[in-house]
Amino acid sequence: MVKVCKNGVWILKGREVIEDCPENQGKLKNLLPRAGSDPEEAGRRGTIAAGILLAHHEGGGAAGALPRELKLRFDAMTSHDITFVNIIQTAKVSGLKEFPLPYVLTNCHNSLCAVGGTINADDHVFGLSAARRYGGVFVPPHLAVMHSYMREAQAAGGRMILGSDSHTRYGALGCMGVGEGGGELVKQLLGQTCDAPWPRVIAVYLGGRLRRGVGPQDLALAIIGAVFKDGFAKNAVLEFLGEGIGELSADFRSGVDVMTTETTCWSSIWETDETISRYYTVHGREEAYKKLFPADIAYYDGMVHVDLCAVKPMIALPFHPSNVYTLDELLSNPADIFHQVEKEAMDVMENPNIKLRLTDKIDNRGRIRIDQAVVAGCAGGTFDNLMALGSILDTEVRQSNDLSFSVYPGSQPILLELAGNGALSSLISRGAIVRSAFCGPCFGAGDVPANNGLSIRHTTRNFPNREGSKPGQGQISSVCLMDARSIAATVLNGGYLTSAESLDWEEIITPYRFDSAPYLARVYDGTGKPDKTIELVYGPNITDWPSMESLSENLLLKIVAYITDPVTTTDELIPSGETSSFRSNPVGLAQFTLSRKDPAYVGKAKALRDGTCPQLPGMLEAARNICGDSKDIQIGSAIFARRPGDGSAREQAASCQRVLGGIANFASEYATKRYRSNLINWGILPFTLDGEPPFKNDDYVLVPGIAQALREGAVSVEAYTLSGSGAGKPRSFTLKIPDLSPIENEIIRDGCLINYNRRLLKELS
């Protein structure tokens, strides 16, 4: 089904694949140019990704060695209503005058306004006032999911779009989307660049033709399952090629593309063809199409080869999109597979008294009973998906009062077309509850299952508690990711898990007619037309960032959370769901930090920040003995996690730590570039270390001379473990300092991006 090649590969004319290995050297010698140039360097320039990156690099695409560090300027940006307030607030205090590029503010996360009284609607009002004042685009609640709107209205061939959401992916349309934390968007608003190392480019070669019943989520899960666990695609660009692409609709490609985020890749891009040209024409933007194809000779850092003929309906079991099985595998052996998932869940459950009981869903005939079905968002709510869902259900449905079934179209234009062609009435008559364009089911703010409920969803993630359950209150529910087609087959079968491949059904792609009327009626587009007379409208929950001090010469850190899970998601660092409503209030939101993973964290971090830790005087005395009685010792908290930062781009996973006095993370590695960038932009040192940590929870770590080490560009620093109990002598060990760009180094030393920009403003005045 999916084969991974970790060697480099040459792809000739976009179709002939030659692995870069000793056996092929003779063949490659005859094929590659020999005019004194570096064939591999020239081959890297031949990828689609390289052409787009170089066109957006501040240094351009001049001949010579590829840049080690990219300095990118994007064509457009996008944020939703749990990120844009903080971004605009941060940029405002740093000197923002107007938006220098198209900036789309969507309202698809806290759309329900169901938590905290007026605070969600207040954020929406703030967003509209900001779009008017600074010259942006405002998309009101329920009108479109963020990424659906960007596909329909902003993506274009050869462009790059930056979004404050990890699923910012428009590669299927020939547009590179990058999801980052808010700090990177602030930099673009202030005329600065987004800096990133030159990425590995990995080819994803699609060959063959799909079998009946297989949809985009099936293909996406097959790829995620093959590459996530060993980090093969981490921070890379995935470039989709191959003759199999021509068989896939634009919606199908976009459904796969948006899920590439779950491989931990940095961005994605696809070859484009007449199918994509038609997509742009249908949406009234013919000029946005650009033919993209690799050069005759292109070199890739690895390859994922997918035989589409072998891809079968898939399911991702709790608690990660990479925990994949074919539906055939699960249906033939549910007891053993569910038992293994239950066993693994014991390692990630925050409350030891809560037990995941998937095996309870197996009836006496070996069938798996489902409690809830949802098709929603940027991955599931596409026109093609919903048409396929409706066509499968357009027969006699075996009714089940126990099964909840909800559908969320990705945008009002999609819903309008479903209403116009009759598909909407068919869905409703078959028991589907059709809702508005809203991301809630994807992050726990809508359709939260009942306790012990099992939900199957065509959405993006199934992390622990992301569906909205609260283990601190004794709750547990879980989500399995599936394609809309097999979800329809399950609904058709009365709520018993069923593969769409078992149906006698052939999918027919229905032509889509896009009507922009809902957008023309409601979207405010002030791009390039800022109105400085408009004042920002603040609700009582919208507050400024607290002050943050610059880095001192020496650091005394207390380990206030120690997480040993193989991967720690941003959902665990700062929960989603109803807590998202408080993201416009940095201090208020910080109270939820690690609340579902380590409920003691906030209290311990506050006690250290406020100087009430009883061990602190003794630890300071020990630190001064090592630092030579220096008074320049900064006190802060730190967390240890083996591989933190998988999942969302939310900067609050870092900023909340900083608000509570956090100054460092210790990790074996960081799951994503975006989480590492968030730490840096909030003045948190992303240290790494080899092997097991030489400290435990509640110990103190002294890092003497850290500011000097950063000024000198050191790659490591000597640190000391001071036992929290006060027993034993200090033990020295080596900490690795991350490979920081010059600007990142300055941001860390200034204490955060806000301080860095304030200093620049002061120096310019």
Homologous superfamily of 2-59+199-305: Aconitase, Domain 2 (3.40.1060.10)
Closest to 140 measured CA to CA, from 174, 167, 105, 182: 105
Query: Is the CATH number 3.40.1190.20 carried by domain 314-511?
Result: no
b/e per residue 585-609 (b: at least 16 CB within 10 A): bbebbbebbbbbbbeebbebbbbbb
The Cα 355–Cα 401 span in angstroms is 26
- Show me where the domains of the chain are located: 2-59+199-305, 76-194, 314-511, 554-764
Predicted local confidence at residue 645, as pLDDT: 92
Q: What is the DSSP letter of 395?
A: S
With residue 378 as reference, give the H or E element that holds it. Answer: helix 377-380
Angle among Cα 390, 393, 397 to the nearest 5 degrees reads: 150
Phi and psi at residue 317, in whole multiples of 5°? -85, 165
**Low-confidence spans in the chain with pLDDT less than 70:** 34-37, 61-64, 350-351, 397-400, 629-630, 724-728, 765
User: Diameter of the chain by CA atoms?
Assistant: 81
Residue 91: what residue type?
A
Contact (Cβ atoms closer than 8 angstroms) between residue 649 and residue 165: yes
The Cα 649–Cα 162 span in angstroms is 11
Angle among Cα 68, 70, 74 to the nearest 5 degrees reads: 165
* The dihedral formed by the CA atoms of 757, 759, 761 and 763, expressed in degrees to the nearest 10: -150
**Helix, strand or coil for residue 565?**
coil
Contact (Cβ atoms closer than 8 angstroms) between residue 205 and residue 305: yes
Residue 339: what residue type?
H
Closest to 230 measured CA to CA, from 159, 302, 181: 302
- The pTM score is 0.94
CB-facing half-sphere around the CA of 159: CA atoms within 13 A: 21
Closest to 702 measured CA to CA, from 568, 553, 505: 553
CB-facing half-sphere around the CA of 296: CA atoms within 13 A: 3
Give me 133's structure tokens: 């004042």
The Cα 698–Cα 614 span in angstroms is 12
Predicted local confidence at residue 264, as pLDDT: 94
Predicted local confidence at residue 526, as pLDDT: 96
728: left (phi over 0), alpha (psi -120 to 50) or beta: left
Give me 157's structure tokens: 């061939």
Homologous superfamily of 76-194: Aconitase, domain 3 (3.30.499.10)
The Cα 421–Cα 419 span in angstroms is 6
With residue 646 as reference, give the H or E element that holds it. Answer: strand 644-646
Give me 597's structure tokens: 């993973």
With residue 305 as reference, give the H or E element that holds it. Answer: strand 302-307
* The dihedral formed by the CA atoms of 156, 157, 163 and 165, expressed in degrees to the nearest 10: 100
Q: Are strands 314-316 and 324-326 parallel, antiparallel or unpaired?
A: antiparallel
The Cα 36–Cα 319 span in angstroms is 51
Give me 629's structure tokens: 């009685």
Predicted local confidence at residue 74, as pLDDT: 98
511: left (phi over 0), alpha (psi -120 to 50) or beta: beta
Residue that is written with structure tokens 């689609």 in the block: 48
Contact (Cβ atoms closer than 8 angstroms) between residue 155 and residue 161: yes
Predicted local confidence at residue 351, as pLDDT: 66
Do the first three CATH levels of 76-194 and 314-511 match, i.e. the same topology? yes
The Cα 482–Cα 8 span in angstroms is 32
**Helix, strand or coil for residue 248?**
coil
Q: How many helices (H) and strands (E) does the chain have?
A: 28, 32
* Fold of the CATH domain 554-764: Aconitase; domain 4 (3.20.19)
Contact (Cβ atoms closer than 8 angstroms) between residue 374 and residue 408: yes
Residue count (the chain): 765
With residue 25 as reference, give the H or E element that holds it. Answer: helix 25-31
